Amino acid sequence: MLYTKQTLAVLAFMPFALLAQKDVVSAYNANQDGDYLKAAEYIDKAIEDPKANIKEKTWRYRGNIYTNIAADSALYTQVPDALEKAAMSLSKAEELDVKKRYVSERQADVVRGASISGNAGISYFNAGVFDRAGELFVTASEMTQMLGAVDTMAIFNSALCFEKANQNDRAIEQYMMCGAYGYQVPEVFLFVANIHKTEGDTAKALTTLQNARADFPREQALIIEELNIYLIAGEFERAKENLMLAAEQDPTNEILWFSLGSVYDNLNMQDEAVEAYRKSLGIKPDYFDANYNLGALYFNKAVQMVNDANDMWKPRMSKDESAKQKEMEQGGKAMFSTALPYLEKALEMDGNDRETLRSLRDIYARVGMDEKMLEVSAKLKSME
C-alpha cells in the first residue's frame, strides 16, 4: 500500500509539470508567430509554476517576449510596464544561468531593451512626465549593467528626472551613484547639497560638500557653496574656523584664501581680509574674485573716509578742524587710488562686469582721471 501511494503521488503531479512546459512551448510559438500579447499570457502562466520558474529558458523567453512588446509602439501602450518586465526577466535568466551558457542568446534583447528604455525616457522627459522618465532611465542603466558596462548618462538623467519630479531620495541616490562612477563630478555633489538645502537640512548639505571637498579640495564651487551656507546662516565664526583649517592644510590653494578673506570681510575684520586676499593673489595674480573683492574693500573704505570727512563739515570750522577734514578727504582719495589697480586687474579678467565698471567710473571721477571716466561711462551706456 505504501508503494501504491507513492506512485499515485507522482502520477498526480505529472499533469502540472506538463502543463507548465506546454505553456512555455505555447509562449515560444506565439512569440515566433508575432502574437506577442498571447505569448505574454502563456509565459506569465508558466512562471507561476515552481518547476518552470527556476529554468533560465523560461525567463529568457519572457524577456524576449516583453522586449518585442516594448518595441511595438501600439502594443507598448497596452503594456506600459513591458520594459520593466523584460529587464526583470532577463536579469532573472542571468541569475539562473550559473554556467553562463546562454549569455549571447540574451544579449541582443538586453541591448535592444536598453536602447528602447533610453529613448522612451527621453520622450517622457520631453513630455514633462519626469517620474516615468526617471524609471525608464533606471531600466536603461540596469540593462546596460547586464552587458558589463555602465551607462552613466542614463544614471544622471534618471537623477535629473527624479529631482524634477520631487522624488528627492531617488534623485540623491542616483546623483551619488554618478559620483561613485566619477561622472559629472563635482557638480553632482552640488546638486545633492542643493536638494538637502531645499529640504531645510543644511547639516546634510554641509556633510555632502565636506565629503566632496576631500576628493576635490581645489574646487571653487564646493568651497563657495559651503561658505554660502555659513554666510546665509550668519555663522561667520564657524566659516572662518573651517576655512582657516582648510587653508592651513592646503596653503597654496588661492580659493581657500579668497574665501577666508570674504568671511573676514563679513566679520568686519578688514586687516585680516586684506591679508587673506593678498595671499590669494600671491598664488594667482589674475584671480578675478580676489582682485575685485580687495578693490571693493579699499573702495568702500575710501567712501567711508570721504563720508566721515563730509560729516565733519559745519558753517564755522576752526583751522584745526579744517585741516583734519582736508586730511581725511586726501586719505579717502589715496584709498581710492589704492583700490584702483585691483579693480583694473579685475576688469582685465572680465571686461563686461558691470559692478567693476561702475566702481572704476566712480574712482576715475574722484581722482581726476577724466578720460578714463568717460571711456568707462561710454562702455556702461553701450551695455544698457
CA distance 99 to 94: 10
Contacts of 82 (CB under 8 A, 6+ apart): 66, 67, 69, 70, 75, 76
Examine the fold and report which residue of 106, 128, 149 is the final residue of a domain before the chain moves on: 149
Average pLDDT over residues 87-103: 96
Asked if residue 101 has pLDDT above 50, the reply is yes
Asked if residue 72 has pLDDT above 50, the reply is yes
Exposure string of 60-95, with b = 16+ CB inside 10 Å and e = fewer, is bbbbbbbbbbbbeeebbeebeebbbbbbbbbbbbbe
Position 110 in a domain: yes
The pTM is what? Answer: 0.73
The more confident residue out of 20 and 352 is 352
Length of the chain: 384
Confidence of residue 20 (pLDDT cuts 50, 70, 90): low
Asked if residue 18 has pLDDT above 70, the reply is no
What is the residue whose three cell numbers read 502520477?
Answer: 11
Position 186 in a domain: no
Examine the fold and report which residue of 149, 180, 198 is the final residue of a domain before the chain moves on: 149
Position 163 in a domain: no
Q: How far is CA 307 from CA 143, 274, 340, in A?
A: 69, 22, 19
Identify whether the C-beta of residue 186 lies closer than 8 Å to the C-beta of residue 221. yes
Residue 244: what pLDDT?
86
Position 263 in a domain: no
Position 257 in a domain: no
CA distance 133 to 122: 7
Q: Write out the residue range of the structural domain in which residue 328 sits.
A: 285-384
Asked if residue 16 has pLDDT above 50, the reply is no
Question: In a 3-state reduction of DSSP, which class is residue 213?
Answer: helix
Residue 324: what pLDDT?
87
Position 160 in a domain: no
Query: How many domains are contained in the chain?
Result: 2
Could you report the per-residue pLDDT of 151-203, keeping only the tens digit for each? 999 999 999 999 999 999 999 999 999 999 999 999 999 999 999 999 999 99
Examine the fold and report which residue of 87, 120, 149 is the final residue of a domain before the chain moves on: 149
Position 162 in a domain: no
Position 181 in a domain: no
Other CB atoms closer than 10 Å to residue 369's CB: what's the count? Answer: 16
Residue 250: what pLDDT?
86
The more confident residue out of 339 and 50 is 339
Could you report the per-residue pLDDT of 217-269, keeping only the tens digit for each? 888 889 888 888 988 888 888 888 888 888 888 899 999 999 999 999 989 99
Other CB atoms closer than 10 Å to residue 108's CB: what's the count? Answer: 11
CATH number at residue 296: 1.25.40
CA distance 132 to 80: 10
Q: What is the mean pLDDT of the chain?
A: 91
Q: CA angle, corner 223, sides to 217 and 284, nearest 5?
A: 70
